[in-house]
Amino acid sequence: MELSGCGTALVTPFLSDGSLDEKALRDLVQWQVENGIRFLVPTGSTGEACALTEEEWLRVVRIVIEAADGRVPVFVGCSHNTTRQAVERVKKLQTIPGVAGVLTANPYYTKPTQEGQYQHFRAIAEGTHLQVLLYNIPSRTGINLLPETTARLAEIPNIIGVKESCGNLQQITELIHAVPRRFRVFGGDDNLALPILSVGGAGLVSVAANAIPLEMSRMITAALENDWVRARQMYRKY
């Protein structure tokens, strides 16, 4: 599976009593797929994963997979700063039919070295048959995954790409030139979507797509098809 285009970092809707709004979540997934979104990412930062119980986390995953019904890949947000627990969580996900892969962020709070991050992500990838998308988001985790470390991780067969939310276009450009063509670099910030695509990015994991999936999907598709006039017009508008 070659992942590209616009994916959505799904929100997790709740009812006023604090429980999951399962109908709203199903409706959201249906709307996303109908409006051209290429893949879905539940239970990430936008899905408030850090506030979900494990039972809620797994329930959200199952609902999204059921609602998507195989029409688009589902990459599940699955992060932990303890490597052993991160591996255990991924192993739980791989027992759920329909999970295409995981999105897993830098080990937060503990601020490991580059080698520490490499060993953490490597252990996750080697602990599962699922595809793995790395997630570099130093503003949330306190640690940056550098291009040379990502390039090493790209050598591991089931690590297929990275969601880059470092906010540094120079670093992302260096990364795109450092990794093999099969390795997919996705923007993780809507405001940097077109700059990242212009230097070779494969797509975007979008937050805005929760509200405007058709528009974001069309904008990313236009850029990937080198229709930059149309892409820029949409970018300026939204």
From 108, 163, 237, 238, active-site residue:
163
At residue 59, φ and ψ (nearest 5 deg) are -65, -45
Give catalytic status of residue 163 as yes or no. yes
Dist. CA 8–CA 225, nearest whole Å: 20
CA dihedral 220, 222, 223, 225 (to 10 degrees): 120
Of residues 201, 208, 192, 205, the one with CA closest to residue 224: 201
Beta strands in 31-139 (DSSP E): 39-41, 75-77, 101-105, 131-136
From 91, 108, 118, 135, active-site residue:
135
Give catalytic status of residue 238 as yes or no. no
Dist. CA 55–CA 100, nearest whole Å: 20
Token readout for 9 is 């970092």
- Strand order from edge to edge, sheet including 101-105: 39-41, 5-9, 203-206, 184-187, 159-164, 131-136, 101-105, 75-77
Dist. CA 125–CA 157, nearest whole Å: 9
Residues whose CB is less than 8 angstroms from the CB of residue 83 and which lie 6 or more positions away in sequence, other chains included = 107, 119, 120, 123, 124
Token readout for 83 is 């490597």
Quick count: other Cβ atoms within 10 Å of Cβ 132? 27
Q: Which residues are catalytic?
A: 135, 163
